[in-house]
Chain A
Amino acid sequence: MTLLSINKLYKSFGGLGAVMNFNFHMEQHELVGLIGPNGAGKTTVFNLITGVYKPDQGEIIFQGQDLVGMSSYNICARGIARTFQNIRLFNELSVLDNVKIACHKDVPYSLLGALVRTPAFFKGEERIEQQALKYLEVFNLDIKRDELAKNLPYGEQRRLEISRALATRPKLLILDEPAAGMNPQETNQLMQMIEMIRQEFGLAILLIEHDMSLVMGVCERIYVLDYGQIIAEGLPQEIRNNKQVIEAYLGEELN
C-alpha cells in the first residue's frame, strides 16, 4: 500500500527553482534513500514534506491525505517525524526531557489537571516517563537521561535526535544525513541501527545521505536528485551503474 506519494511538486526561492516536477512514491515499511550532489534540493524536499516550506505547486499525499498547507505539528500528528542535518536538540534540557517533549502530542491529562495536580497528572507523567525511557533504551541513552543534551558527544546527539523523532510514534521517519560527521565504524553501527528501528517499530524510513556505503547498504530503493529534478530512480545496483548519476556526481567524460 502506498504510504506517501508526491506528485508534480514545485518550489522556487526567488528565481531559483529548488525543486521542479518532483514525483515520488513510497510504500509502507519501505526504506528509501534520496541522494544527490550538494545543493540538489534534498533538504528542501524534506522541508516541503514536513511543512516547514509551502510548495508552489503539487500535492503531497500521505495515507490518502494531502499535506500541502498543513502546519508542521499537524503533519507530525499524522505520523511523519524527522531529524535535522544540523542537529536541532533542545540543548538546555536533559536528554529525558528532549524525548518527553516529543511525547507531548498524546499528553494524557488536561492543563487544569496539571495545575491542580490530579491523580491523572501523576499517572500521566509516569506513563510519559516510561515511554520516553523506552525510546532512550533503544539507543542506550537511558544511562544519560539527566545529562543536558548539549553536553552529549556528537554521535550520541544524533542518536538522541532519532529517538526523539521515534517518540512521536511516526509511520514515516525522515532522516536528514544521519551519518554526517561520523567515522566508518559509527556509520556501520548506524546502518544496523536503522535496520533495527525499521523492524522493531514497523515504520517506513526515508533518508538523505552522502555516505554511499550506507545508502547502498541499507536502502531498498533510491531516488537521485540533481538541480531540483529526479534524474534516476531504482534499486541500488541500478543506480550504481546509471550513466546520468555518475555524470551528476563525477562530471561528464571529455571527448
Chain B
Amino acid sequence: MQTKKIKWTRFLLETALLVVLFSLVQYGISTRMLSQYYQINLTSMCINIILAVSLNLINGFTGQLSLGHAGFMAVGAYTAVIMTTKMDYPLLAGLVGAFLAASAAGFVIGVPTLRLKGDYLAIATLALGEIIRVTLQNIDYVNGPAGISGIPKLTTWAWLYGAVVLTILVVVNLINSSYGRAIISVREDEIAAELMGINTTKYKVMAFVIGAGFAGLAGALYGHYFYIIKPETFNFMKSFDILVMVVLGGLGSTTGAVIAAIFITVLTAALQPFPEIRMILYALILIIVMIYRPQGLMGNKELSRQTLGRIWGARR
C-alpha cells in the first residue's frame, strides 16, 4: 500500500501546483499587474499549446502527417461563435459544441483520407482544410469572407487554463495507456501492429478525431477572445504554424509541443518591434534550431520525474 500512498501524495502535490500557477496568474490579471499586452500573448500561448499538443497526437504519436489542423480550428470557432452569438448558448455549451463539431469533421475527413500515407495524406488533409475555409467564405449565414465580428469576449484566463490542462491531461493519459501504445505502434510499424491484433485504421481515426476536437476547442477560445473570426484566419499558413511548433518541439513529445508553443509565441511577440526583418529572424531561428536539434527540442522524450531524476543522477 506504500505505492498507493505515494500515488495520492503525488496527485495532491501536482493538483496543488496547478492551482498555485492558476492563482498567481489570476492574481496578476485581477490586480492589473499583467498588462493587456501580456494577457493577449498569454491567450495566444494557451491556444497555441492546445493546438500543438493536439496536432502532436496526430503527427507525432500516430505518425500521420496532417496539414489540416486550421480547418478543424475553423469548424470549432464557427460552431462556438454561432452557438453563443446567434443562439444564446453559454460559452461552456459553445466549447462542448465546438469540440464535438470538430471531432465529427475529423471523423468525416479522417475515415477516407487515413487510408493514404505520408505525402499523400498531407496533401489530402491540406486540401480538405482549404475546402473548409472556402466553404465558410461562401456561406452568407456567417458573412462569407468578412467573417463574424463583435463576438463577446467570453474567454477568460480560467477557461484558457482549464482547456490547456484538459488537453494535456487527455493526451498524456491516452498515450500512457494501452490505447496509446496501440496508437504509437501504428507510427512504429503499421504492418507489424496490424498483425499483432491492432486495428490500425480504428486507432488512426481515433487519434485524428481527438486531435481535431481539441483544435476545435482552441478555435472556440480564439473566437471568443479576439472579437472577430474570418475564414482567412484559418488558412493553411495557420496549419503550418502549428506544424512548426510540433516539429520544433519534437514529434511525439507532449512536453516538447508545450515548450515549442510557448517558445514560438514568445518569439513572435519579441519580434513584433522589428516588422521589416521579423519573418527573416523567425526563419533563421527555426533553421538554427533544426540544425542543432534535428529531432526537435525534446526529441521523443518527455520531461517527467524520471528524466529529471536521471539528469540529477548524472550530475552527481
Interchain CB contact under 8 A, B197 and A76: yes
Expressed in whole angstroms, the Cα–Cα distance for A128 and B193 within the complex equals: 17
Please report the C-alpha to C-alpha distance between residue A168 and residue B194 in the assembled complex, in whole angstroms.
Answer: 12
Cβ 8 A contact of B182, one of A91, A101, A168: A101
Q: How far does the alpha carbon of A101 sit from the alpha carbon of B178 in the complex, in Å?
A: 7
CB nearest to B169 among chain A residues? A115
Q: A125-B177, A168-B197 are in contact. List 14 more A-B contacts (CB 8 A).
A: A73-B195, A73-B197, A81-B196, A90-B192, A92-B300, A100-B181, A101-B182, A102-B196, A103-B178, A114-B177, A114-B179, A115-B177, A117-B173, A121-B177
Instruction: Choose one: A73, A76, A81, A115; the contact of B173 (CB below 8 Å).
Output: A115
> Given A73-B197, A114-B178, is A90 in contact with B191 using a C-beta cutoff of 8 Å?
no
Q: Which of under 10, 10 to 19, 20 to 34, or 35 or more describes the interface residues of A?
A: 35 or more
Indicate whether B170 reaches chain A with its CB closer than 8 angstroms. Answer: yes
Is the C-beta of B198 less than 8 angstroms from some C-beta in chain A? yes
The answer for the CA separation of A115 and B180 in the assembled complex, in Å, is 10
Asked if B189 and A88 sit within 8 Å, CB to CB, the answer is yes
B205 to chain A minimum Cβ distance, whole angstroms, is 13
A159 within 8 A of B: no
B200 within 8 A of A: yes
Is B189 touching A104 in the complex (CB atoms < 8 A)?
no
Residues of B within 8 A of A (CB): 170, 173-174, 177-182, 184-185, 188-189, 191-200, 206, 300
Q: Mark A176-196, 1 if CB is under 8 A from B, else 0.
A: 000000000000000000000
Which chain A residue shows the least CB distance to B202?
Answer: A73
For B196, what are the chain A residues with a Cβ–Cβ distance below 8 Å?
73, 76, 81, 101-102, 104-105, 164-165, 168
Residue of B nearest to A77 (CB): B197
Q: State A117–B189 Cα separation when bound (angstroms).
A: 28
Residues A90 and B197 in contact in the complex (CB < 8 Å), given A52-B191, A114-B177, A115-B170: no
Query: For the complex, is A89 an interface residue (Cβ under 8 Å from B)?
Result: yes
Tell whether, in the assembled complex, residue A73 and residue B200 are in contact, meaning their CB atoms are under 8 Å apart.
Answer: yes
> At the interface, is chain A mostly helix, strand, loop or mixed?
helix
B176: nearest chain-A partner, CB-CB:
A114
Q: Using Cβ atoms and an 8 Å threshold, which residues of chain A touch B194?
A: 71-73, 76
When C-beta atoms are compared, the residue in chain B nearest to A170 turns out to be B197
Q: Which residues of A contact B191 (CB under 8 A)?
A: 52, 72, 88
A81 and B195 contact, Cβ closer than 8 Å, known pairs A103-B178, A104-B182, A125-B177: yes
Nearest CB to that of A121 among chain B residues?
B177
Q: Which of B179, B185, B193, B200 contacts A107 (CB 8 A)?
A: B179
Q: How near does chain B come to A94, taking the closest CB pair, in angstroms?
A: 10
Residue ID in chain A nearest B175 by CB atoms: A114
A124 contacts B by Cβ under 8 Å = yes
Query: Quick one: closest B residue to A100, CB to CB?
Result: B181
Contacts of B184 in A (CB 8 A): 90, 93, 97, 101
Instruction: List the A residue with the shortest CB-CB distance to B195.
Output: A72
User: How does the 8 Å CB contact mask read for A103-126 relative to B, with 1 for contact and 0 for none?
Assistant: 111010101001111000100110
